[in-house]
DNA sequence: CGAAACGGAGTA
DNA sequence: TACTCCGTTTCG
């Protein structure tokens, strides 16, 4: 097992004619994923894919999957973004601008919901309060989703 | 349509 | 310099 990948190193040296096999080269070498970032939640899964084809062959791409919904994320930022704001960063629909959407509707992370928050008056003039957890300000999206979740839980009992 | 991958740019 | 993230594209 685990024979080092030593096969077909360079095929076309001068590369002129002879295009490599047209077969789908989009194959990636399965990596054993020996590395595991500590910033990654214990429940999360990480997958490291090594690019097999193209110019950037050999480049490593990290993919993450959340334990609950098994959604696919491409980067640390994406993961943290999901954990924190709960917003999924999926490509809308290519270069076509969508009319409207509700990304914050179904993105309440119950697991990461803080049990205690401190509301700090961030802007006295505007009377805007911002919830803080562990001395960390929470993004509006986060607690904005609380209302959505609350509404969902209370079954409409919660109203603005 | 969705997922996967390549490519490139930006940043540490 | 190297690594990471994001956008775009292609394949299934």
pTM: 0.52
What's the CA–C1' distance between A56 and B8, in Å?
Answer: 10
Asked if A79 and A73 touch (Cβ cutoff 8 Å), the reply is yes
Q: Judge residue A142's burial from the number of C-beta atoms within 10 Å of its C-beta, 0-12 exposed, 13-18 middle, 19 or more buried.
A: buried
Does the CB of A53 fall within 7 Å of any strand B atom?
A: yes
Asked if A38 and A57 touch (Cβ cutoff 8 Å), the reply is no
- Closest nucleotide to A26 by C1' from CA: B5
Take residue A3 and report the two structure tokens written for it: 């024979």
Express each pLDDT in A17-62 by its tens digit: 444 444 445 555 554 445 677 777 677 888 888 888 888 877 888 8
Express each pLDDT in A97-148 by its tens digit: 444 444 444 555 555 566 667 666 655 554 556 666 655 666 655 666 666 5
What's the CA–C1' distance between A53 and C2, in Å?
Answer: 21
């Amino acid at each position: 097992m685990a024979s080092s990948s030593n096969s077909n190193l360079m095929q076309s040296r001068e590369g002129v004619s002879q295009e490599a096999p047209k077969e789908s080269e989009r194959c990636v070498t399965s990596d054993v994923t020996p590395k595991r970032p500590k910033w990654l939640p214990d429940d999360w899964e990480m997958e490291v894919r090594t690019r097999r084809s193209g110019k950037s062959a050999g480049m490593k791409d990290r993919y993450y999957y959340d334990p609950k919904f098994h959604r696919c994320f491409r980067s640390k930022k994406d993961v943290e973004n999901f954990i924190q704001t709960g917003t999924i960063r999926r490509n809308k629909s290519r270069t076509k601008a969508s009319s409207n959407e509700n990304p914050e509707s179904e993105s309440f992370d119950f697991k990461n919901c803080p049990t205690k928050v401190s509301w700090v008056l961030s802007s006295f003039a505007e009377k805007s309060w911002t919830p803080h957890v562990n001395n960390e300000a929470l993004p509006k999206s986060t607690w904005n989703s609380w209302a959505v979740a609350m509404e969902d839980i209370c079954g409409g009992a919660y109203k603005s």
